[in-house]
Structure 1
């Protein structure tokens, strides 16, 4: 299986769509009187814990993939866990981008009412959640990078070709 890195424009698109959705939700809340803005503190906490877990798993996959196979300690990392970690990192990056846009959209629409206690609390909750989501997006991008396999030194490797050429030259001089 060949996994590709998530292109930058997908993060930008997710953030833009989240921004539009956040603005739409806040403006709907103002027009209907049904306020749905804000984020419970437990959401921010869960997003932070999820980001840390994905980062820890990605670091373990990176360490396992870049260790000599003969020196690898027995650990929980196997190919299935490595692929799941990569998928989690990709999902965390895109979800972090979309949710940060979501919360920033709510902040933009609510900042005009900041002096009201409800909007004041909602803006602070959204700001904290947006910062955590941006951190999750960055962790997702870094996690994707950490889950990359090192280059394969197969028969077509440039290093092996150079070593073979040096060996052939050395044997030619011996004769």
Structure 2
């Protein structure tokens, strides 16, 4: 299976869409009197735990992919789990960018009312959630990088180097 790295602009689009949605939600809450802003404290906690889990899984995949096949334990990591880790890292990066924009949009609208205790508390909740989401986005990007396979072609590959050495020896015997 060949996958591509997530382009940088997809993170930007996610953050902008999240920002617009957060601004829209906070503005609707102001006009309707139904307040939907803020983030319960469990949300940043769960997002932080998810980020740590993805990072640990990605480090295991990276260790497995960069270990010499002769020295690997047979049941070190399941290839399906490696693919799921890659997909999870991609999803965490994009979701982190979008949710950071979401909470950032709520902060932007709520800053004009920060003198009220409710809005001050909501801004604090959203700021903490946004920081955790940015950290998750970074972990997702790093996790995606960690799940890359080492190059299988080129002069730095052991198999290519060994084949070239054998070819050079064969050429020397022909002379």
Whether TM-score is above 0.5 comes out as yes
Paired position in structure 2 for 1:104: 104
The total of aligned residue pairs comes to: 172
Cα RMSD after superposing both structures: 1.9
Which of 158, 161, 165 is 1:163 aligned to? 165
Q: How does 1:125-164 map to 2 (within 5 A)?
A: 125-153=125-153, 159=161, 162-164=164-166
SS of aligned partner of 2:92: helix
Whether contact under 8 Å (1:62, 1:148) holds in the other structure is yes
Runs of 4+ that moved beyond 2 A: 73-76, 156-172
Q: How does 1:4-153 map to 2 (within 5 A)?
A: 4-75=4-75, 77-153=77-153
Whether contact under 8 Å (1:153, 1:159) holds in the other structure is no
> Residue deviations 1:74-94, cap 9 Å, x none?
555111000000000000000
Q: TM-score, normalised by structure 1?
A: 0.91
Aligned equivalents of 2:163 and 2:76: distance in 1? 35
Distance 1:121 1:74, change over 3 A: farther
Distance 1:112 1:75, change over 3 A: farther
SS of aligned partner of 2:152: coil
> Residue deviations 1:23-47, cap 9 Å, x none?
0000000000001000000000000
> Residue deviations 1:102-145, cap 9 Å, x none?
00000000011111100000000000000000000000000000
Aligned equivalents of 1:76 and 1:102: distance in 2? 39
Aligned equivalents of 1:126 and 1:3: distance in 2? 34
SS of aligned partner of 2:37: coil
Q: TM-score, normalised by structure 2?
A: 0.91
SS of aligned partner of 1:163: helix
Aligned equivalents of 2:57 and 2:91: distance in 1? 14
Aligned equivalents of 1:26 and 1:20: distance in 2? 10
Aligned equivalents of 2:74 and 2:18: distance in 1? 42
Whether contact under 8 Å (1:51, 1:136) holds in the other structure is yes
